[in-house]
Structures are given as C-alpha cells and as structure tokens.
C-alpha cells in the first residue's frame, strides 16, 4: 500500500504526456502537505546551517521515522509494495521551456522532490502543491546536505513507498553526481530511471547560436570541469589542458569560473592561440543571462571586469565566432567605441562595467 498524497493533478504511470503548462485550476489545492513542505524546508535548512549535523530531531528525520513506521512492510524497497524506483530527472539549463514532457509529468506526480541549487523556481512550480520539496543544494562553502545524506534520503523516502523525484540541473549524468546516486541506490536494491536533460553545454550554446561542432572549424567537442577542489588539483588541471588544447576543438568548461585564470593560461601554454574566440555565459537561457565574449587571451580579465558569478559556463573555440552576437560586435566598431567610452566613464564613476579591452559584450 502506498502512503502517497491524495489529489494529484495528473495520472500516475503516465499513459499520455501531460500538458507542459498545467493551469492553476488543474493543480491540486493546497492542503496539509503544503504546510509540511514549508515547515520541513525551513527547519532542516536552518538546522544544517547552524550545526552541520544531519536530520535535526523534530524535523525531517522525525517525519521520515513516522513514514517508515507507517510503511506496510520492513523498510526495504525490494520487499515492500512501494514503487521501488527513484526518478533522476534532468531539468536542462534553466529556461523552464527546455524541460522535457516526461520531466513535467514526473514532477506533477511526485510525492517527494529533492532539488539542487540550479533548479529555477519556475521549474519547481510544476510540482504538485502538496509535494514535499527538499532543498539539497550545494554551493561553494555551503553544502546543505552531504552526498551521503542525499543518498540516504532518496533511499528512505523510496523505502517508505513514496514516489521520489531527484531533480538535477542540466543532465543528471553530466558533472551532476547522478552516477553516484545511481550506484548507491542500485546497490541497495532500488531501481533508478533517468530522464535525460539538456546539458548546459548544448543548451546554452545552441540558444546563443553557437554550433559546438562545425565543418572546417571544430570536428570535436570536449566537456571538462574547471572545478579546483579536493582531488582536482592544479596539476590535474594542467593534465586536462594538455589533453584538450587542440586546434579544431571546442572546449566547454563547467564550474570553471574560479579556475579560469589558471585554465586559460594552461590552454595557451599547451598551444592554443590567444586569439581563439571564447564566451563566458552566466545563468545561460534564463531571463537574466549575461555573456562576455572575448578572445581566450583576454577572457579572464573581461570576466573579472564583468564580475560574472556562478553558474557560468565557458566555451572556448572558434565556433564562437559563428554566434550572431560575436559577429555583431565585430561589425560595429564605431558603436563599440561609444560603448567603451561610456563604460570607461561609468567605471571612473565607480560602477562595474564590461571593461575596455577585447571584444567583451554584456547582455
Ligand atoms: C554541477 S555542474 C552541473 C551540470 C549539469 N548537470 C548539466 O548537465 O548542465 C554546474 C555547472 O554547470 C554549468 N551550468 C549549469 N547550468 C548553467 C546555466 N544555466 N548557466 C551557466 N552555466 C551553467 C556551470 O558551469 C555550473 O557551474
């Protein structure tokens, strides 16, 4: 027997894809579940920030214990009549219109949704109003939940008979630790169904009009991480640069903002032309997207001037010159000068701007 929440807006099991934008009238009304959702979200975050400990008494752990006690059989997904399945769902780079129909349907039918930092509120809106929403995001210097805790939460909710959706930005299996969740759950007898999402590299580049491969310009594309933490040392970054710094290659760097100075230097030291076109895209595909276009040799400086923040994706390769914005910039020398003059004046007045060197463009 399931312990699921009543009043769903869409059929379970999904014989047909649900409409991607359900009207409010079709959505379940707010009930106790909403209160649970708000209460738990608030409490566990506050607790974790205060003490760094998992499962504060009186909050999520208590709730889970009650669920487990109410589960019909021993809390093992393989022995209960619960779903025995966790959905790992990719949400794409941010624009909610880039969600798949399958992602929307699963969100509408989930009892419990565990979501990351990069999931926009517009995407979360697709969850039923009585779904339990658990924020498990990680950002520099602040991990709301450790990866082990996330594994355990996924397992315990599934074992309690809940329909569990684990939402991940982009694609779950591209720099998203989805593989670790898959591995953990499978080892504990839980099936995992993955809904692919559009990964930042392809979603953001395509939306900007940058083909990642192009005959005569790029015959291969490399997705790499610039994340400089833990076992990922400067030495590793150097090795990585050595592996990817080739002509006719497009390099897409995830999590590369903080290591951009080292990475761009390594790429050039390993043979990349400083004139290679590049772009850094902050909050790609979202309404407040910002871009900095510059040759590799001046990208770091331009990005620093623009004070881009995470999430930022970096694309290095001459395919960037095919982007209409890059070409537009090149064709508007006079306008550029005017913009640069204006920025110079603003900077003199204490405002941050796009900088004056290279081909930087902020949108
Ligand atoms: C932990 S990785 C997750 C990648 C994700 N699984 C995917 O397939 O796109 C996070 C990094 O992806 C990139 N990223 C994801 N979404 C982005 C966005 N909307 N704008 C810019 N960069 C993004 C950034 O480099 C960010 O630091």
Tens of pLDDT along 84-127? 999 999 999 999 999 999 999 999 999 999 999 889 999 999 99
Q: Is 284 in the pocket of ligand 1 (CB under 6 A)?
A: yes
Give 32-47 pLDDT, tens digit per residue. Answer: 233 334 334 433 343 3
What percentage of residues in the chain have a pLDDT greater than 70? 69
Residue 354 has pLDDT above 50, yes or no: no
Structure tokens at 232: 């990922």
pLDDT of residue 76: 55
Identified catalytic residue from 62, 102, 138, 273: 138
pLDDT of residue 58: 59
DSSP of 61-113, one letter per residue? HHHHHHHHHHSSS-S-TTTSSS--EEEEEE-BSS-GGGS-HHHHHHHHH-SEE
Residue 192 has pLDDT above 60, yes or no: yes
Classified as helix, coil or strand, 291 is strand
Asked if 269 is an active-site residue, the reply is: no
Q: How many CB atoms lie within 10 A of CB 147?
A: 14
DSSP of 209-266, one letter per residue? T--SSBTTTBSEEEEEE---STT--HHHHHHHHHHH--TTEEEEEET-STTHHHHHHH
Q: Is 178 in the pocket of ligand 1 (CB under 6 A)?
A: no
Structure tokens at 60: 């999520």
Residue 38 or 234, more confident: 234
Q: Is 285 in the pocket of ligand 1 (CB under 6 A)?
A: yes
**Cβ contact 114:150 at 8 Å:** yes
How far is ligand 1, taken at its centre, from the CA of residue 339, in Å? 30
pLDDT of residue 348: 57
Residue 14 has pLDDT above 90, yes or no: no
Phi-psi region of 311 (alpha: psi -120 to 50; beta: other; left: phi over 0): beta
pTM of the model: 0.77
How far is ligand 1, taken at its centre, from the CA of residue 94, in Å? 9
Q: Is 249 in the pocket of ligand 1 (CB under 6 A)?
A: no
- Count CA within 13 A, CB hemisphere, residue 350: 0
Give 69-88 pLDDT, tens digit per residue. Answer: 887 665 555 554 456 999 99
Q: Is 98 in the pocket of ligand 1 (CB under 6 A)?
A: no
pLDDT of residue 339: 41
pLDDT of residue 105: 97
Residue 220 or 358, more confident: 220
How far is ligand 1, taken at its centre, from the CA of residue 256, in Å? 10
Identified catalytic residue from 48, 111, 116, 130: 116
Residue 360 has pLDDT above 80, yes or no: no
Helix (H) or strand (E) holding 118: none
How far is ligand 1, taken at its centre, from the CA of residue 301, in Å? 22
Range with the lowest mean pLDDT among 122-126, 323-327, 336-340? 336-340
**162: Cα separation from own chain's centroid:** 24
pLDDT of residue 341: 52
The residue among 104, 154, 148 whose CA lies nearest residue 134 is 154
pLDDT of residue 64: 84
The C-alpha atoms of residue 300 and residue 31 are separated, in whole angstroms, by 50
Asked if 130 is an active-site residue, the reply is: no
β-sheet bridge partners, residue 253: 224, 314
Asked if 138 is an active-site residue, the reply is: yes
Phi-psi region of 246 (alpha: psi -120 to 50; beta: other; left: phi over 0): beta
Q: Is 212 in the pocket of ligand 1 (CB under 6 A)?
A: no
Q: What number is the average pLDDT over the span 152-174? A: 96
pLDDT bucket at 143, cuts 50 / 70 / 90: low
């Amino acid at each position: 027997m399931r312990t699921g929440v009543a009043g769903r807006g869409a059929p379970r099991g999904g014989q047909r894809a649900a409409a991607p934008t359900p009207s409010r009238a079709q959505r379940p009304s707010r009930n106790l579940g909403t209160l649970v959702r708000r209460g738990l979200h608030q409490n566990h975050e506050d607790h974790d920030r205060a003490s760094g400990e998992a499962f504060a008494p009186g909050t999520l752990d208590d709730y889970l214990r009650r669920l487990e006690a109410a589960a019909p059989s021993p809390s093992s997904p393989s022995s209960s009549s619960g779903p025995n399945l966790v959905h790992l769902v990719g949400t794409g780079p941010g624009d909610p219109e880039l969600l798949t129909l399958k992602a929307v349907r699963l969100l509408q039918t989930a009892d419990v949704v565990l979501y990351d930092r990069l999931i926009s509120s517009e995407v979360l809106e697709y969850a039923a109003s009585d779904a339990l929403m658990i924020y498990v995001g990680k950002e520099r210097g602040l991990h709301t939940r450790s990866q082990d805790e996330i594994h355990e939460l996924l397992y315990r909710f599934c074992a309690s008979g809940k329909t569990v959706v684990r939402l991940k930005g982009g694609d779950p299996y591209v720099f998203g630790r989805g593989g670790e969740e898959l591995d953990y759950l499978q080892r504990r007898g839980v099936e995992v169904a993955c809904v692919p999402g559009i990964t930042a590299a392809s979603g953001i580049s395509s939306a900007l009009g940058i083909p990642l491969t192009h005959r005569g310009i790029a015959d291969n594309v490399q997705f790499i991480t610039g994340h400089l933490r833990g076992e990922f040392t400067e030495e590793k970054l150097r090795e990585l640069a050595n592996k990817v710094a080739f002509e006719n290659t497009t390099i897409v760097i995830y999590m590369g903002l903080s290591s951009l100075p080292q990475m761009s230097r390594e790429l050039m030291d390993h043979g990349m032309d400083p004139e290679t076109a590049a772009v850094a895209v902050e909050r790609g595909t979202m309404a407040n997207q910002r871009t900095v276009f510059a040759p590799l040799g001046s990208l770091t400086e331009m990005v620093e001037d623009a004070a881009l923040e995470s999430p930022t994706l970096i694309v290095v390769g001459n395919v960037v010159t095919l982007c209409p914005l890059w070409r537009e910039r090149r064709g508007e020398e006079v306008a550029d000068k005017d913009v640069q003059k204006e920025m110079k004046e603003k900077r003199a007045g204490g405002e941050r701007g796009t900088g004056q060197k290279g081909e930087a463009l902020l949108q």
